[in-house]
Chains A and B, each alone.
Chain A
Amino acid sequence: MKIILNIWRQQNATSAGRMVRYEVPNANEHMSFLEMLDVLNEELTRKGEDPVTFEHDCREGICGCCGFMIDGVPHGPQRGTTVCQLHMRHFHDGDELWLEPFRAKAFPVIKDLMVDRSAFDRIIASGGFISVNTGSAPDGNALPVIKKCSDMAMDAAACIGCGACVASCPNASASLFVSAKISHLGQLPQGQAERDRRASRMVLKMTDEGFGYCTNTGECEAVCPKGIKIENIARMHRDYIKASATFREETSGGGAG
């Protein structure tokens, strides 16, 4: 099958980018979308041109590395699917597609379709963790977890941090991602001790990283490859409202006693 691609080419974060048209005459329906791009890149390399940069790692839909826009939708037309797991059988011979990087101030373009999502890492570092004393492993089932809570926490934990939610949001909000992380830890007993601090710091960090605000459009939920629900965003708002009222920030250098 033949696929026509209009791909955003951009040298680096500061240069201006533009759409460039390519043809892939020898794609077939068994290829994944990224394999189809591999074929294009081999051809470009052979011709001595600069291959198209895109990010990928596992190609199994679990690492969250891949992702760009296909015809204005992150990860393309197949719901619940990362672009590495998207197969060419969902397209037709002669289709013309537009590929662009995820666009947000907080996600500067590195090159072509690859963006820098380290803002997500900084949000996680601000509070998306639990502090534990490492040592010998605790006994299994020593800490009871309510089944419903563990299920909902696991659903939220499915987020792979791909950034599609930000890319699809009309306001470039990171609410779905941040709320998934807050909901993942906040529903487990291990996450209770730092629940207020987590909500407070992660929400403020997401604000300061330059992400937009949520207008409850539901666009993120529709494109999320892991089916994260905006119910989590409501939980984040609840946790943040509560934390704002009661949370006491620790001063640095304090000691016990």
Chain B
Amino acid sequence: MSSIAVNSGLNRTATFYHSVVGKKVVMAVSGFVLSGFVLGHMFGNLQLFQGREKLNHYAEMLQSLGGLLWFARFVLLSAAVLHITAAFQLWRLKNEARPQAYVKKAHIATSYAARTMIWSGPIVGAFLVYHILHFTTGQALGDQFIKGDVYHNVIVGFQNPAASFFYIIANILLAIHLYHGVWSMFQSLGVNHPKYTPKLKTLAKVYGWVIGIGNVSMPLAVLVGLVK
């Protein structure tokens, strides 16, 4: 008899996730899905600058996808749940792994973005909940919410300075999150090569800037009255 045991699939998955490396892989894959989404989402929304018809038409097109839209929502929600669960577990682990803090600790290589992932992440998460209540389901917009008239909702929403301010802050944090996250996810998935890693780091920075500028431009444009 051979002495090789084949772990069951469930066992394998549990063991994989139990390890610190497995959790990071989950973090990276879910981060990859979410990063891809935020880029597409931003480009779609930038049609705000092309006027009411264009944006509302885009929204209608998305609604007409039906089953596909629900599938995308399911994938995104799963990614968000996995990302947040792993983030929470890793955050706990971090605190356990160094119970006594240093009296003096220097950071000679760690970037600001890398150091603040655990803050930028949850704030973006809280923002996402608000964002959905604001423009998708409408509760945060109250009576002013008109189902189907996305352009109207966005303009009315962003004319409120407090709401716009939250959007701007959250998206700057998202940009910072991606500034580190987009190269970090490649490293977590095992992609590191002297030839490509510097390019991936540049990509992450560009990605962060693009998302930041693109997403901030919308509330800002409405606030200053450029788009009405």
Residues of A within 8 A of B (CB): 8, 19, 69, 71-73, 98, 100, 103-106, 168, 170-173, 175, 203-204, 206-207, 210-219, 221-223, 230-231, 233-238, 240-241, 244-245, 248-251, 253-255, 257
Contacts and interface: CB of A to CB of B under 8 A. Distances in A.
Contact of B190 (A71, A204, A219, A237): A237
A212 to B, nearest CB: 3
Contacts of A213: 20-21, 23-24, 90, 93-94
Nearest to B89: A213
Nearest to A218: B109
Residue of B90, B106, B180 contacting most chain A CB atoms (<10 Å) = B106
A215 B114 contact: yes
B106 A19 contact: no
Contact of A222 (B1, B2, B93, B109): B109
Contact of B94 (A103, A172, A235, A236): A172
Contacts, number: 158
Interface of B: 1-7, 12, 15-16, 18-25, 90, 93-94, 96-111, 114-115, 117, 180, 183-184, 187-194, 197
Given A213-B93, A217-B111, 18 more contacts: A72-B102, A73-B108, A98-B103, A173-B20, A206-B20, A207-B21, A211-B97, A212-B93, A212-B97, A213-B24, A213-B90, A215-B117, A217-B110, A218-B110, A222-B108, A236-B21, A237-B25, A248-B5
A89 B111 CA distance: 29
Nearest to A214: B24
Contacts of B102: 69, 72, 100, 103
Contact of B187 (A72, A204, A233, A251): A233
A59 B117 CA distance: 39
A98 B194 CA distance: 36
Contacts of B25: 237, 241
A75 B25 CA distance: 31
A173 B97 contact: yes
B166 to A, nearest CB: 26
Most chain B beta carbons < 10 A, residue from A215, A238, A254: A215
Contacts of B20: 173, 175, 203, 206-207, 211-214
A219 B3 CA distance: 42
B194 to A, nearest CB: 7
B4 A100 contact: no
Contacts of B5: 248-251
A72 B22 contact: no
16 contacts: A69-B104, A71-B104, A73-B106, A105-B98, A170-B115, A207-B18, A207-B19, A207-B21, A215-B117, A215-B184, A217-B111, A221-B109, A230-B187, A231-B193, A241-B190, A244-B22
B106 A71 contact: yes
Q: Among the interface residues A175, A214, A222, A230, which one has the most CB atoms of the partner chain B within 10 A?
A: A214
A248 B98 CA distance: 33
Nearest to A245: B12
Contacts of B189: 237, 241
B4 A103 contact: no
